[in-house]
Structure 1
Amino acid sequence: MDRPNADEEEAAAAAAPAMAQAAAPGALERLLHKATDPCNPEENWECIQKISDQVNADANGPTTALRLLEHKIQSPQEAEALRALNVLEMCVNNCGENFHHEMGKFRFLNGLIKVLSPKYLGEWSTDRVKSRIVEVMFSWTVWFPQEVKIRDAYQMLKKQGIVKQDPKLVEDKVLPPPSPRPASSIFDADGEKSKLLTRLLKSKNPEDLQAANKLIKALMKEEQAKSAKVSRRMNAIKEAHSCAEALEEMLSGCQAREGAAIPKPALEVLQGVFAKGEKLKPLMFRVASETVEDEEALAEILQANDRLTQVLRLYEQRLGPSRDSADTTGLPHSPAAGAPFPSVVPQVTPPLPSRRLPCSHSLAKLFIPLDSIMLSTIPPVTIYERNGLKAMLHFARDPVSSCPATRVLVLSLLSTSPSPVQHIVFQAAVPKSMAIKLQPATGSELPAFNPLSAPAVISQVLLLANPDKAPLRLRYRLLFSQDDQAHSEVGEVTDFPHADLWGGS
């Protein structure tokens, strides 16, 4: 069978010396011989787990393991080949992106293809082994869409008639345990399921192994659904920003020739982009409703929605309202959303939506005038000081009288930079047990520092509800432009003084 990519051949040849060195007989090879021994009455899961641990411990582990596994999968002994495929799947689940990238190269895929192809080993390979390889490759096209060579190799097998139809991934196949996941993963989030899975996999009862396989697949489906939501959110944010940017540029061009009629072709394009923006608004609401538990991601959605809404309003101001043009997303906007729109539009980050709190008024209804705030005597906390820009959090002496669980902070921004700082936006998020609201800032630009005049300061009031009186934590993102360069700075503040020390009742 022709190799699908000649460049891969050159890469393989160039890597040959390193492969030979990495493939020297050692612990990995001994473990693999033990795990795939056809004389074993059953799968040696402990040994298979050690293989994946060894692969992860060695920088050349993925390359060495795949070379050894390729040889085992091509074994004329059916039991040895099938056990090698089980080891392969264990490594796929446990050995991470480096292993996935190596298995997604034609150098390894061609080894599997040889077992299927009648031109090579397909004439004496058993149907069980060939069926299992097809099943494995098909599952990889589903779970690893980023590895395009796997998809290409599988499609080539279908085109040549070696694979007649996509296999059905049956439930009674014994799959290896799942790979280690981040702490936020569903595999770790549900301790009971994790314990159950561990117990089932250690069992020698075939029914328990089948139950473990079903549980793994159920967890993987949950994670796939979660990944699909993330993908939808990222695509929606990207489309909203792209549409807003296109509309901004076209409207800016219209402003440059103010008074002149817009040519019909240009007007039609403009109307088409506007219509696309209108259609995006329900999508933004949908992805926002799927992201209520992730404050940072939700803030990104609101930022994109705010930018899109503002430019759609600008379109209406200049060209007149269109039908079905009202903002029906139900998403909150930044306080600047109704302000006059500049020809070059900065990305305005709206405040995070507040949660319902056990107070007489929700944060959404609260507004504390800056000039009514009395600051505590405790010193402010500096949360950012780079690029000539300094950000500090000051603490109000008194809580909100109508909602004692809500405290008031004041952000102050000042610059010692010799150049102006523009498009300043501060965004904040707090743990789920709390809620935060950012009132409008007093400005978004700081002039170049002049030692002969009083320094300019931007102030912004933050309302922070903490009904459980948990230790305060705040994550922030500070956006600004300086010397025609955009900055996005992130950080976390945990060294707050205890609220009882701020003063007041």
Structure 2
Amino acid sequence: MFDIDELPILIMEVIVKATHESLPCPDALALEAFCSVMRDAAEGPQLAAQALSARIHTLNAREALLALSTVDRCMRKCGPAFHAEIGKFRFLNEMIKLVSPKYFANRTAPDVQIKVLQLLHAWSIEYPKESKFKVAYEMLKNQGVIKETPPPLPPEDVVVSPRNKHAIFEDEEKSKLLQKLLQSKKPEDLQHANRLIKSMVREEERRSEASCRRAHEVASALDSAGLLQDMLLHAFEASSDEEQLIDELGHINFN
């Protein structure tokens, strides 16, 4: 369905976007784009697993944790084909290397190691059809890597509030166009899909930035209002400079 040379680049770009170290949790928009590409491409799950196995090995502990969280979220969103790819030793060996003293345990952050063990334990219970999760977990127990049951996975990092009808990926026109492009066999349509996803990501970033600016403005206004109220309570003691400040604060638009 896709140009095999283009698809890995698109998948990796979206993964990098979803797991940037500045994020508090995997980027929901990029994750949705990632799952859309993966579901609509025959090679999607295999290429996604390869890209994620590389991403969890980044030496940036924050990004490695986000990459592991991304794998877990995709397990819940992307269906049996993705489960089967993550359930292969090809991927599981890359997770095992992060906690094994024979490989990279000495350079892997403790938080990343704990996350790996938490995921293997959780997956061995949640996805019994993929038997290699349990095999990998039991092997690490037998090797002494797992000395006690890891703590349970924390709840989702963030609860996503409902978006308005024009929000990214709920914009009906753009969603239909993206789906059509992803199902096309033409390489140029994949390139167009790539550009569309990037434009939608940028649109969401602008929306977030505007929201942050508004929140900052509201916080500043509330601070000024509190200061004004406090100064008015003591206005009879105010100096000439403080009287001038009261006058300036009184003319701020708090709407």
Give me the TM-score of the superposition, normalised by structure 2.
Answer: 0.58
In structure 1, the gaps of 5 or more residues are 1-20, 177-199, 204-505
Q: How does 1:146-165 map to 2 (within 5 A)?
A: 146-165=129-148
Q: Is the 8 A contact 1:89 1:175 kept in 2?
A: no
* Distance of aligned partners of 1:125 and 1:23 in 2 relative to their CA distance in 1, 3 Å threshold: farther
For 2:131 and 2:157, the matched residues in 1 are separated by 24
Greater RCO between the two (CA within 8 Å, min separation 6)?
2
Amino acid of the residue matched to residue 160 of structure 2?
A: L
* Distance of aligned partners of 1:143 and 1:23 in 2 relative to their CA distance in 1, 3 Å threshold: farther
The equivalent residue for 2:161 is 202
Q: Is the 8 A contact 1:86 1:175 kept in 2?
A: no
Q: 1:174 aligns with which of 136, 139, 156?
A: 156
| 3-state SS of 2:160 partner | helix
1:56 aligns with 2:56: no
Q: 1:65 aligns with which of 39, 42, 48?
A: 48
For 1:73 and 1:94, the matched residues in 2 are separated by 19
CA RMSD of aligned residues (A): 2.0
Amino acid of the residue matched to residue 139 of structure 1?
A: A
For 1:137 and 1:159, the matched residues in 2 are separated by 14
Q: Could you give the per-residue CA deviations for residues 358-408 of structure 1, whole angstroms, max 9, x where no partner exists?
A: xxxxxxxxxxxxxxxxxxxxxxxxxxxxxxxxxxxxxxxxxxxxxxxxxxx
For 1:111 and 1:103, the matched residues in 2 are separated by 10
Aligned identity (percent) is 31
The equivalent residue for 2:119 is 136
The equivalent residue for 1:305 is none
For 2:24 and 2:152, the matched residues in 1 are separated by 25
For 1:26 and 1:107, the matched residues in 2 are separated by 20
> How far off is 1:24 after superposition?
5.3
Q: Is the 8 A contact 1:35 1:48 kept in 2?
A: yes
* Distance of aligned partners of 1:158 and 1:41 in 2 relative to their CA distance in 1, 3 Å threshold: closer
Amino acid of the residue matched to residue 72 of structure 1?
A: R
* Distance of aligned partners of 1:26 and 1:167 in 2 relative to their CA distance in 1, 3 Å threshold: same
Q: How does 1:85-484 map to 2 (within 5 A)?
A: 85-170=68-153, 172-174=154-156, 200-202=159-161
Q: Could you give the per-residue CA deviations for residues 306-340 of structure 1, whole angstroms, max 9, x where no partner exists?
A: xxxxxxxxxxxxxxxxxxxxxxxxxxxxxxxxxxx
* Distance of aligned partners of 1:142 and 1:34 in 2 relative to their CA distance in 1, 3 Å threshold: same
Larger helix proportion of the pair: 2
The equivalent residue for 2:57 is 74
Q: Is the 8 A contact 1:22 1:64 kept in 2?
A: no
For 1:153 and 1:120, the matched residues in 2 are separated by 15
Q: 1:36 aligns with which of 11, 16, 19?
A: 19
Larger strand proportion of the pair: 1
Q: Could you give the per-residue CA deviations for residues 82-125 of structure 1, whole angstroms, max 9, x where no partner exists?
A: 11011111210111111111111111100100111111111010
Amino acid of the residue matched to residue 13 of structure 2?
A: R
| 3-state SS of 2:105 partner | coil
For 1:26 and 1:147, the matched residues in 2 are separated by 28
For 2:5 and 2:85, the matched residues in 1 are separated by 14
Structure number with greater Rg is: 1
> How far off is 1:23 after superposition?
8.1
Q: Could you give the per-residue CA deviations for residues 228-252 of structure 1, whole angstroms, max 9, x where no partner exists?
A: xxxxxxxxxxxxxxxxxxxxxxxxx
> How far off is 1:127 after superposition?
0.6
For 1:137 and 1:166, the matched residues in 2 are separated by 11
For 1:101 and 1:25, the matched residues in 2 are separated by 19
Give me the TM-score of the superposition, normalised by structure 1.
Answer: 0.30
Aligned residues: 159
> How far off is 1:145 after superposition?
1.1
Q: Is the 8 A contact 1:102 1:108 kept in 2?
A: yes
> How far off is 1:138 after superposition?
0.5
